Chain A
Amino acid sequence: MIDILTTTFIATFIAGVIASAIPLVLGSLGETLGEQSGVLNLGIEGMMLFGAYFGFVTTLETNSYFLGLLAGIAAGFVMSILMVMLNIWLGLNQIVIGLALTMIGGGITSVLYFSTYGQTTPRLGQPDVFPIPVLSDLPVVGSSIFQQPLAFWIALVLAFVVSVVLRNTNFGLRVRAAGQNPNSLDAAGGNVVRTRTYVALLGGAFAGFGGAYLALMSAGTFTPFMTSGIGYIAIVVTMLSRGRILWVIASSFVYGISVSVGTVLQLTSFDLPTDVIKMLPFVAVMITLIVFARSSYVPPALGVPYTRGAR
């Protein structure tokens, strides 16, 4: 039995929460952008896996975390181009395409991984931390919160940026209008297809970033299907948050906590099977949904392709 009240332990716990929450924050930010404009991206799980795999390979080969993250972002972006063409330009069913992308993402990355690193199962080292002066010397929070890699701070800044874009820019207003009533946006001289295209591509980039963060920063390796449903949880987080970025962050951290609590339970002497412990985050999501689902509200035009003049 370990002593759960030591400072080292608490610091590790907090770091664990952050490591699990940030990929979800990034994925949910991308999903939020898309859903606000009326694009339901069910392919986000596949995009995150793409980001994770290509980020991992790039960092492994170049030894650069920066290039790895960039590759992850690019991979998610490229996959979202496919989604944009099929869903937004051709107006195909967003659910079918989304599920297909998720399957493609999982399938391709697993096959590639097994055929290249399946035998060696390489691991990455620890990413460089970006200590915040003064604050990083604090006890407990210093080593857990203020000694994070730079990508962590970039993720937080991005969350702030997305929030400002949605609330205070002309572009953000058009995005929300596209999700609420695309006809209104069209009649007001906006371009529904272009608006949705931009946010869907951004969403793919965010998902790729989230996946790469998971592989490079949180796990330090790639394993097939390592996202284990984070993409779907991002969709849930997005629907509960209704475009409010603070809620996105808060609910992602609730998920992070439930993951970390699971880890703690594994380390303590409670005799719980690992399968039960791994269920915890999902149980947390289900409970949250049961409690809050009544207030979940999706934009009226979500998942509906837009064709001018169609009735």
Chain B
Amino acid sequence: MITLTHYLVLSAILFSIGLVGVMRRKNLLMLFFSTEILLNAVNVGFVAVGHYYGDLSGQMFAFFIIAVAASEIAVGLGLLILWYKKTGSTDLDTLNMMKG
């Protein structure tokens, strides 16, 4: 029997993986992947809790997050390509133009 706890544990594990990815990875593309994992970990949690309470708003929210994530990726990838064309690198540490 798969209970709510299982889903939440899965969600937490996914979230942790995403978090570690965000912190450790230096490649911008990998950062986007990590962000997607983070968002989807949260989605799993929403859907599971929404199902548990018999409330649709959790699942509604998951849809919103998917939509937001998609548009974020679209904008982010566009910027990433521009950056790559300009500098020939997708390393995070090269993005330091704002350093004072």
Q: Are A and B a genuine interacting pair, yes or no?
A: no
Q: Hey, which bits of chain A sit against chain B, CB under 8 A? A: none
Q: Hey, which bits of chain B sit against chain A, CB under 8 A? A: none
